[in-house]
Structure 1
């Protein structure tokens, strides 16, 4: 049963919010279950309806509940990525772009190291599938490369790296990826745009220039982290001319 605590302090709204959140997180109210009406909650907590409503609004904003007009408030299946998608514009400021290379070298390369030892054969097969699809796109891509095609390449690139993050089997790293995904996408797009221009000037095809995804995959399969790291560092660094 939910553990209801009478509110005695002045910060009634905060206490109601915290107690409701604790009961939801603990599973006393499960996903899909309807919470008691505001009037009943107000009576249980010993506060007025406005205090309960404010607490429910905070839970709505967090993504733990949803209020259906004329029906009531229901517990939601919380998805961290949904929460991040709602606020991730905060992580897309231009000033953060200069830090993303350091972030990727620190966290993403470590994910690759963990994935070498933790990933299942099925996960490696999925990484291979993603890599093959990206290669097919690069083979079809010729100079000059327009922005729409660059965005498509960016999506494939991000899918490849996201799979490696998942293969690390570290939940916190996966959360980090969700938090930084939009910034990562912009960084990859700008890096590809710069490199594609350079390849065109040198007469290098997109496939010839952007070969490191397959090389990283094969290094991981051989459990050769040293080579994987060199390839990853070059791929990540915006300033490296490939």
Structure 2
């Protein structure tokens, strides 16, 4: 039980700060990217109806000493931080398809089948293979769904011409989220530089208007979270 929404997991970063306000969009991203404060569905409902939500500790009476965090519309936040928080998830698997045939419709076939199986695919990376007319494809999905993802790919193996399938489970997704990204340049540069300085290799990248996510070796999760929290000036004084 927590007394609000923090800039990151206080168990990892002792200098994590409680946010006074956070937008619906930011809270949705944080919830879907690993933050355990609110369920994604509850934020979606509040966002749809524009109902402000105050996150408070259930062990302390609400009041001036326990203001919690207000989840509200972006317009109600006067000072918009470039990055409001750092989230992480260790429930990730990296699936690599080697030697897939390189022609129109192959990617559509693969991801349509995965969608039909209700497998949530996140990051996607595509690159040319050494063999002419072939490509390598990487995607991430929840670790618990990796086995089913392989079964789905195997069911169309001959159709897509995949030569081999590798699954790696010791990976984590680390994300920075902030509505200030919409109007700020250099956010990705700061992220990549901070991780490089700590020797953290990036295996995949996914972005949206208000978040950047990277896939890394799970062993570096806490190091990456701390480095990014400091790099974006989120540490409490």
Shorter-chain TM range is: under 0.3
Q: Which has more helix, going by share of residues?
A: 1
Query: Normalized per residue, which structure has more strand?
Result: 2
